[in-house]
Amino acid sequence: MKRIIAGLAVVASTALPVLAEEHRVTIRGMAFEPAVLEIAVGDTVTFVNTGRVPHTASAIVRGLDAGREGAAAFDTGRIEPDAAVRVTINRTGAIDYVCEDHPSMRGRIVAN
């Protein structure tokens, strides 16, 4: 039985050469930490709200991207205090995002 399990593990690891990583952005006070996060395409980012009021993390779409389907990349919607929302980043490039309730709260995800 042990041998069979080991064999399956090898198959699984060769079938999935790249595993998506999970990252975390903490909303603390009125800021995203880290403000700039570098990831790989396909990774997930979990926004954790440790503050006392709801926040969002909403990608800003501008220029040529504005008319492109899927360009928004992500929008967590409203994240309540002590809640978290996970998003998957499926496009490359720099994605600036903002809290829709507090426009001074800004962050950037760079996906390679």
Report the interface residues with Cu ion, using CB under 5 A.
Answer: 55, 99, 101-102, 105
Q: How far is the CB of 102 from Cu ion (least distance, A)?
A: 3
Q: How far is the CB of 22 from Cu ion (least distance, A)?
A: 23
Residue 41 to residues 50, 82, 94, Cα–Cα distance (Å): 26, 27, 11
Q: Of the two residues 43 and 85, which places its CB atom closer to Cu ion in the complex?
A: 85
Q: Which amino acid is at 47?
A: F
- The tokens describing 104, both together, are 């001074």
> How many residues in total does the chain contain?
112
Q: Of the two residues 32 and 43, which places its CB atom closer to Cu ion in the complex?
A: 32
Q: How far is the CB of 4 from Cu ion (least distance, A)?
A: 51
Q: Of the two residues 45 and 105, which places its CB atom closer to Cu ion in the complex?
A: 105
